[in-house]
């Protein structure tokens, strides 16, 4: 019997409706969108543009502002490094947050090696950014602020609208990594005053290997320097043959997620509350991050007084969960340490990621199992000490 899957922040199963939408483009409609001289190219180019229009509508923007990528990591790199190269003469200061995903932090670290200065803002104990600290960090030479919409480990939602207003008043571009947020809440780039937004498909029942970057085309018209060359696709910003089946799947995944988001988020919040209430019956179980605002399907907790490696080893037999980002496996969570957790506490923390196929029965099974093994694990840790 396979473990209960509770790692939806790492990835999600492909929705069957998304698979059905993609199917014709693997075999019957196999053309290259860049082949403009015949019907095979025309029909797939039409599918790509329809997907672009659908994604643009979901973000309340225009189709030409949507750029397809291989995922949120590429979108983050293009946004951060592309802006840095384009605005180099204007300023060399970037502001981000210590709890960002590695796909934001590492491009920033690379830019530091090229002479840029990056301010990594701390967060409060609940994981939320202090807006006054952000305000004080902004300078005349600041060209970009990058703050993720929803944290991939602790699920907290940053106040993007307030950040957007602050940046717009100062003429500073705002980028957000929305990989965990897209499809789980409305994202209106006009209301939020976001200038660049990265997203991916596979967190919401879509295929792996495809994502998109929103790039504002007016007021302000954002400039980017491409990070890939060799074909001129996507308005010259991103070279390479477009993966038509994946792009169709991305649009379908966003479509279905948004169509069902209100009822699905209410269902997930109910399951998360039941999970937390069950875990709270045990002593010394700490919530990591604010309870609200938070992704409905996220619960990150620290189990104090246990050996982290043993805890995760025992969990693996019954449930698929994570200690942190799937992209940082084996490292102590930099997010939890930014919240003030020790390395030992971070090691004995668990990210429960609930999703579309999580059931109430599974949540009860998880609660029962944790309540059964935790006293034993604590006793073992006490004896070793």
**Per-residue pLDDT, 379:** 84
**What share of the chain has pLDDT > 90, as a percent?**
91
DSSP-derived pairing of the beta strands 196-200 and 211-215: antiparallel
- Res 237 pLDDT > 70: yes
**Per-residue pLDDT, 325:** 60
Tokens of 338: 């930014």
Tokens of 24: 């014709």
Band of the pLDDT at 383, cuts 50, 70, 90? very low
**Per-residue pLDDT, 365:** 98
Band of the pLDDT at 334, cuts 50, 70, 90? very high
**Per-residue pLDDT, 142:** 98
- Res 32 pLDDT > 80: yes
Tokens of 65: 């502002």
Residues with Cβ within 8 Å of 265's Cβ and at least 6 positions away in sequence, in order, are 184, 185, 296, 297
pTM equals 0.96
Residue 201 contacts residue 211 (beta carbons within 8 Å): yes
- Res 276 pLDDT > 60: yes
* Mean pLDDT over the full length of the chain: 95
Band of the pLDDT at 236, cuts 50, 70, 90? confident
Helices (H), the chain: 16-22, 39-59, 72-86, 102-113, 131-137, 160-170, 189-192, 244-279, 308-316, 334-338, 343-347, 360-384
Sheet holding 196-200, edge to edge: 66-69, 211-215, 196-200, 173-177, 142-146, 93-97, 117-121
SS (H, E, C) 219-254: CCECCCCCCCCCCCCHHHCCCCCCCHHHHHHHHHHH
Residue 363 contacts residue 268 (beta carbons within 8 Å): no
* Digit-coded pLDDT (tens) for 108-126: 999 999 999 999 999 999 9
- Res 17 pLDDT > 50: yes
**Per-residue pLDDT, 282:** 94
Band of the pLDDT at 65, cuts 50, 70, 90? very high
In 3D, which of 240, 187, 227 has the Cα closest to residue 68?
240
- Encode burial over 242-273: b for 16+ CB neighbours within 10 A, e otherwise: bbbbbbbbbbbbbbbbbeebeebeebbbebbe
- Res 228 pLDDT > 50: yes
Residue 103 contacts residue 177 (beta carbons within 8 Å): yes
Q: How far apart are CA 68 and CA 21, in angstroms?
A: 18
As to burial, measured by CB atoms within 10 angstroms (0-12 exposed, 13-18 middle, 19+ buried), residue 283 is exposed
Half-sphere exposure of 277 (CA within 13 A, CB side): 8
**Per-residue pLDDT, 385:** 35
Sheet holding 349-353, edge to edge: 285-287, 298-303, 349-353
Residue 293: asked if its preceding bond is cis (omega within 30°), the reply is: yes
**Per-residue pLDDT, 381:** 67
The average pLDDT across 244-258 equals 98
* Digit-coded pLDDT (tens) for 338-365: 999 999 999 999 999 999 999 999 999 9
The average pLDDT across 142-164 equals 98
3-class SS of residue 198: strand
**Per-residue pLDDT, 264:** 97
Band of the pLDDT at 329, cuts 50, 70, 90? low
Q: Which residues pair with 217 in a beta bridge?
A: 221
**Per-residue pLDDT, 324:** 64
**Hey, what domains does the chain have and what are their CATH numbers?**
4-11+260-384 (3.90.1150.10), 17-255 (3.40.640.10)
Residue 183 contacts residue 145 (beta carbons within 8 Å): no
Catalytic residue among 327, 357, 375, 380: 327
- Res 335 pLDDT > 70: yes
The average pLDDT across 75-103 equals 98
Please say if 327 is a catalytic residue. Answer: yes
The average pLDDT across 11-15 equals 98
């Amino acid at each position: 019997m396979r473990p209960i899957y509770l790692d939806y922040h790492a990835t999600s199963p492909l929705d069957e409706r998304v698979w059905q939408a993609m199917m014709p483009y693997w075999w019957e409609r196999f053309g290259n969108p860049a082949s403009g001289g015949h019907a095979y190219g025309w029909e797939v180019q039409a599918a790509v543009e329809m997907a672009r229009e659908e994604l643009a509508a979901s973000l309340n923007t225009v189709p030409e502002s949507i750029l397809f990528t291989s995922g949120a990591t590429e979108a983050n790199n293009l946004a951060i490094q592309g802006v840095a190269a384009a605005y180099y003469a204007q300023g060399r200061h970037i502001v981000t947050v210590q709890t960002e995903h590695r796909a934001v932090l590492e491009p920033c670290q690379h830019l530091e090696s090229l002479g840029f200065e990056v301010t990594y803002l701390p967060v409060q104990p609940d994981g939320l950014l202090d807006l006054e600290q952000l305000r004080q960090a902004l300078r005349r030479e600041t060209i970009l602020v990058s703050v993720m919409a929803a944290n991939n480990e602790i699920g907290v939602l940053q106040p993007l609208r307030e950040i957007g207003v602050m940046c717009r008043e100062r003429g500073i571009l705002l980028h957000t990594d929305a990989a965990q947020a897209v499809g789980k809440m409305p994202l209106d780039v006009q209301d939020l005053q976001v200038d660049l937004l990265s997203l991916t498909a596979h967190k919401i029942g879509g295929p792996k290997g495809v994502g998109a970057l929103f790039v504002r085309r007016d007021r302000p018209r954002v400039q980017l320097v491409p990070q890939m060359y060799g074909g001129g696709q996507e308005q010259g910003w991103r070279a390479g043959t477009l993966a038509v089946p994946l792009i169709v799947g991305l649009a379908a995944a966003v479509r279905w997620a948004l169509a069902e988001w209100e009822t699905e988020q209410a269902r997930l919040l109910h399951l998360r509350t039941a999970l937390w209430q069950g875990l709270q019956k045990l002593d010394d179980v700490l919530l990591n991050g604010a309870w609200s605002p938070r992704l409905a399907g996220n619960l990150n907790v620290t189990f104090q007084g246990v050996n982290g490696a043993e805890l995760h080893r025992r969990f693996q037999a019954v449930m698929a969960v994570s200690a942190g980002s799937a992209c940082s496996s084996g490292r102590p969570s930099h997010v939890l340490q930014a919240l003030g957790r020790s390395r030992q506490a971070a090691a004995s923390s668990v990210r429960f990621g609930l999703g579309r196929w999580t059931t109430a029965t599974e949540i009860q099974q998880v609660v029962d199992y944790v309540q059964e093994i935790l006293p034993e694990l604590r006793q073992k840790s006490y004896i070793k000490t």
